[in-house]
Chain A
Amino acid sequence: MGLKLALIMMVLMGAMGGVGYWYYNDTQERMATLVANEAKATLAVQEAEAAKEAMEASYKKMAEENEKVNAKFAVIEASNKRLQNKLSRHDIGVLGIAKDTYTEKVLNAGSDNVLRCAEIISGSPLLESEISATKPSEINPECYEIANPNFDPSIQSEAWRKKNL
């Protein structure tokens, strides 16, 4: 009877040990999977965060570029308008009859200036005299925004600003 009981106990203990061993292994495996999953999830969140930041940076840059281009367009438009204003202020037909030599000089000087503007737009380097020009008499009045980087129109006389801005 004692031997039987001992045998049953041994079988039971063995079974319990086996279950315990299986449970331990299974739990460890699950823990490893869960921790690995968590790490992957954390990484995925980090990556998503980085992607979001990159997108936000791109949108910001896009807005900046748009703003810059609009500002440049405004300057270009102003320069274009200046010629229209100049032509509407003077009647070159009347001037050409009354002061032909003077008109010829003005037209030729204006033409030279405009052609120089086209050269600068195409990438021609600025001349020393263009860079150092700070007075209205030294500038290229057709495109001083691009031809004369050191000329500040805002500090010029009221009369000049009224005529040119």
Chain B
Amino acid sequence: MPLPYYVSPEQMMKDKAEYARKGISRGRSLVTLEYGDGILLVAENPSTLLHKISEIYDRIAFAGVGKYNEFENLRIAGIRHADVKGYSYSRGDVTAKALANAYSQALGNIFTQDIKPFEVEVLVAEVGDANGARNEIYHILYDGTIEDERNYAAMGGQSDEIRRFLKDHHKEGMPLNEALQLGVRALTVTQNKTLNERDLEVAVLDRTKARRKFRRIPLEALGQLLGTAS
């Protein structure tokens, strides 16, 4: 029987982190912005069928970057968590915070215990209600690190540059079209190309909507908001 040879835990974690980061940085980016009526999520995603952004519960949305099958698993687990909780207590008791913590635990465990870490970053956003409760945005990394973000967040390939760009340009209470145009500019800040509505997946958590706040923005409306409609 061959002896397993020794690798220091430090080295092992470093290797895993590097592996995960590489996987994530290959993927396209995603940004989230708070705007006047809620939270906007914009992803560069040419597919109209395989989503990166999705609805979790009444006021909560999910977004993932990296390996599709891995964040898809997390997405479904999140919907289950939220639906069971809302069914057994009440709809108002489902919070982004509890969900973000569950994701953080799951990703942390996978990172330390499995040979291959998940190559994903996920984002959980919850829109506040009209009477002043504030928006919440949680950003969870491949190793379970969890951060709460204000005003804007970016994940995926060139997220550092995008974040810097958003820091300089984000204003509070922007209307939807302005926020969307800023989001799209942020996604292209590191690359010499323009994105049109066909390259984008866009959704909002709109606090003016009735119960379920999540809404995908369809292609035609996207063109109008971007001001590119002919």
A and B are partners in one complex rather than unrelated chains: no
Residues of B within 8 A of A (CB): none
